[in-house]
Amino acid sequence: MKQLEERIRHDGTVKPGNVLKVDAFLNHQCDVALFDAMGAEWARLFAGRQIDKILTIEASGIGIACLAARHFGDVPVVFAKKTQSINLDGDQYVSSIYSFTKQREYPVIVAKRFLHAGDHVLLIDDFLAKGNALHGLIDICQHAGAKVEGIGIAIEKGFQEGGRKLREEGYDLKSLAIVEGMDPETGEIRFAESE
């Protein structure tokens, strides 16, 4: 998606350790018009798929998932929580994820009453690196008996293995921007061709 690539080039910064910082528009300050355009693009890419729920992870996934839902007939958006709280009552699906940016394990939790057997789910997240976060969500869908219809990612780091693994596992994965390489010295960011 050219609009997203241009924004990453303009406002993204390359940090040491293969980290791309996009907090000016994606995961701290939010460009809602851009989120809306991203939602429209996912709707185009997943046209023909039956999607009746969107599942994401707090916090960065929530905004993009909510705008995306407007383009999928206002389906409900469920976000997995990363911490237990007294407000999280009832039975839960719990999986564990290793975080690339935080370098530690954390739980992902979804209340059983919001995800059901037979749900047709679109997974949405801001970044795909090694695929750990998405595998946590997939694990939760499998436990619930929900079907993963597709995976929509804003920025895939194509030089890390997550995207290749998920495509090999047969998932319909659409990333709006695929970063092929980035250089922390020069700040240069190279993209793969998008659909």
Candidate list 1, 4, 8, 20; residue touching ligand 5GP; CB under 6 A: 20
In the set 70, 82, 120, 130, which binds ligand 5GP (CB under 6 A)?
Answer: 130
Look up residue 138 and give its two tokens.
């997939």
18-56 core/surface letters (b: 16 or more CB in 10 A; e: else): eebebeebbbeebbeebbebbbebbbebbeeeebbbbbb
Is position 101 an interface residue for ligand 5GP (rule: CB under 6 A)? yes
Nearer to ligand 5GP, 19 or 40 (CB): 19
Residue type, 172: D
**Which amino acid makes up residue 19?**
V
**Can residue 100 be called a binding residue for ligand 5GP (CB under 6 A)?**
yes
Distances from the Cα of 3 to the Cα of 36, 38, 148, angstroms? 12, 9, 27
* Stretch of 19-27, 30-38, 74-82, 116-124 contacting ligand 5GP, by CB under 6 A: 19-27
Q: How far is the CB of 73 from ligand 5GP (least distance, A)?
A: 25
Residue closer to ligand 5GP by CB (options 52, 94) is 94
- CA–CA separation, 86 vs 155, rounded Å? 33
Binding residues for ligand 5GP, rule: CB under 6 A, are 19-21, 27, 60, 100-101, 125-133, 162
